[in-house]
Amino acid sequence: MKGNELFDIEGRKAIVTGGTRGLGYGMAEGLMECGCEVVIVGTSDKVFETADEFKKRGFSCHGVKADFSVREQVYRGFEQCIEKLGGDVDILVNAHGIQRRHSAEEFPIAEWDEVMNVNLNSVFILCQEAAKIMLKKGYGKIINIASMVSWFGGQTVPAYSAAKGGVTQMTKEMSNDWIARGINVNAIAPGYMATKMNEALLDEKNPRYQQITERIPANRWGTGDDMKGCCIFLASHASDYLGGAIIPVDGGYLVK
C-alpha cells in the first residue's frame, strides 16, 4: 500500500462515545474531516444538537443518547449506533468517562461503582459487541482512552485510576485475542487536557495547576484537536501492525 493510501479512512463507519465535548468531540470531528460516517454518543439531548451542528457543516453524523452507568443502556445504545450505521462498524472510539474526586478513605462506594461501570465495564461491553461484528469481516479498529494514571497513581481519584488501569490492561489482552483476526486494539493516553473533566484543576491560581503546567515540556494543556492525529492513525491502515499500544499524547509530560 502506498504511503498516501495508508491514512485514507474515507467512507469508514465509526462510533465515538463521549463525542459531544472535549476529547471525544475532537476525535469525532477529525474522523469526519477524513470522510468517515460517525455516530456520536452522549448522555443528554445535547448529543442530537451536536450531531445536527456537524451535519450543517456537511459531515455525515448521527446522535445516540445513552447512560453508560446503566448496563442495559450500554447494550441498547450500541444497538442504536449500529442501526444508524446500517448494520456495520469499522472504528470504535471509547472516549466517554466520568470523574469523582475524594481521598481514598472517604471515597463513597456508590461513586466507586458508578465510575467503574462507566469507565471500565461499559468499555468492555462496547469492545465485545463491536468485535462480534468486526470479526465476521476480519477488519476493525478499536481505540480506547487510557490516561496518565495508567502509569501514575494519581491523587483523590482511586476509582478513576483503577478503571483506567483496567482499560490499559484490557486493551493489551484484547489485542492478543483479536489482532491475528484483523482487529487492532490500541489506546491513547491523554496528558493533562483543558476539558470539563479537569475543570477543578484549571484555575490558574491553583498551585496544582501551576505544578502540572511547569512539568509539561510543551508548556500548555492539551485540547481535543491534539487527539485528532493519533486517532486518525489508529483508525487507519497505517496502524495495521500495531497492537496493544498505549500511546501518550501528553505534551511530553511522561518523559520529564
- The Cα–Cα gap between 71 and 77 comes to 10
Whether 160 sits among the annotated catalytic residues: the reply is yes
Burial 162-185 (b: 16+ CB within 10 A, else e): bbbbbbbebbbebbeebbeeebbb
Q: Give CA 149 to chain center in angstroms.
A: 15
- The Cα–Cα gap between 122 and 170 comes to 12
- The Cα–Cα gap between 42 and 125 comes to 16
Q: What is the enclosing helix (H) or strand (E) of 68? A: none
In degrees and rounded to multiples of 5, residue 14 shows phi and psi of: -135, 150
Of 25, 160, 192, 253, the catalytic one is: 160
- The Cα–Cα gap between 235 and 16 comes to 12
Catalytic residues: 160
